[in-house]
Structure 1
Amino acid sequence: MSIEEKFDTLFKALGHRTRRQILDLIKDGPKTTGALCETLSDLDRCTVMQHLSLLEKAGLVVVERRGRERWNHLDALPIHDVQKRWIGPYAAHAIAVLGDMEKMAEIDASPAGAADKSDA
């Protein structure tokens, strides 16, 4: 699977509110599938398992089997990859643009900047 296909799968996994809710439920520690089904009581077990399967395929959930129990652990590394590729660089760009705008506003508000405009 190419890196772009991995990101497609990741964004598909993050695109559904139930899957994001599952990630929120396991971020503080692993939960069994049964515990997740109890919490998501409006969904049947098969539906929860389908959501977990997609999260696992996206690399967001790592499954550990202990006897008959299936423990679901969060793997936040794919989310960190999104942050490194898009969020960090875009935020840095936005901060630079806002910094430039702030400098221009300060120049315009300064007496020298106002004098330059009156000369025009």
Structure 2
Amino acid sequence: MHALDVLGDPVRRRLLELLADGERSAGDLGEIVQLEFGISQPAVSQHLRVLRESGFATARPEGTRRLYAIDPAQLEAADSWFDPFRRMWQPKLDALATELARGRRARRPAAHPPDRREPAGDDSDSSSNDDDEEN
């Protein structure tokens, strides 16, 4: 099965999103996905099996539980499939990043006005103190 066929299913994409935060038990994954998609526990198990067999996830037993984690190799392979297409959107993403940086720079002075300290050698505060001492 091609990587994009695996990722084309919304349930499997959601399972991978959940696994992106770290290792999770099959039961935990099943509870979330069953509520969100209204599917049965056996259906969730089938999706997890597809992720395992296609190399997107690994599973390890821990007592009576099975813990799932992402296997990044297949995600990297899927990512590399997009390489020929990146030239179409990468310049636009780079331009967007440039504009966002410009916007941040333009707002920076308004958010943080420049420090307006008195120049060195200005004794205006000390002269007023001198007057107080004389009185």
Q: Distance in 1 between matches of 2:47 and 2:30?
A: 11
Matches within 5 A, 1:37-56: 37-40=30-33, 41=35, 42-56=38-52
Show structure 1 runs of 4+ deviating over 3 A.
Answer: 95-98
Distance change (3 Å), C-alpha of 1:27 and 1:95: closer
Secondary structure at 1:50 match in 2: helix
Change over 3 Å in CA distance of 1:47–1:95 after alignment to 2: closer
The sequence identity of aligned pairs, in percent, is 25
**Pair 44,88 (structure 1): closer, same or farther in 2 beyond 3 Å:** same
Relative to structure 2, which stretch is displaced further, 8-17 or 19-28?
A: 8-17
- CA deviation string 1:15-56 (max 9, x = no partner): 110000000011110110100111122221100000001111
Q: 1:67 aligns with which of 63, 66, 69?
A: 63
1:79 maps to 2:75: yes
Alignment pair present for 1:20 and 2:18: no
Q: Which stretches in structure 1 are left out of the alignment for 5+ residues?
A: 1-7, 99-120
TM-score after normalising by structure 2 = 0.59
Aligned partners of 2:3 and 2:78 also within 8 Å? no
Q: What is the alpha-carbon root mean square deviation over aligned residues?
A: 2.1
Assess, with a 3 A threshold, how the Cα gap between structure 1 residues 56 and 96 changes in structure 2: closer, same or farther: closer
Is the radius of gyration larger for structure 1 or structure 2?
A: 2
Number of residue equivalences = 89
Counterpart check, 1:91 vs 2:102: no
Q: Name the TM-score, length of structure 1 as normaliser.
A: 0.65
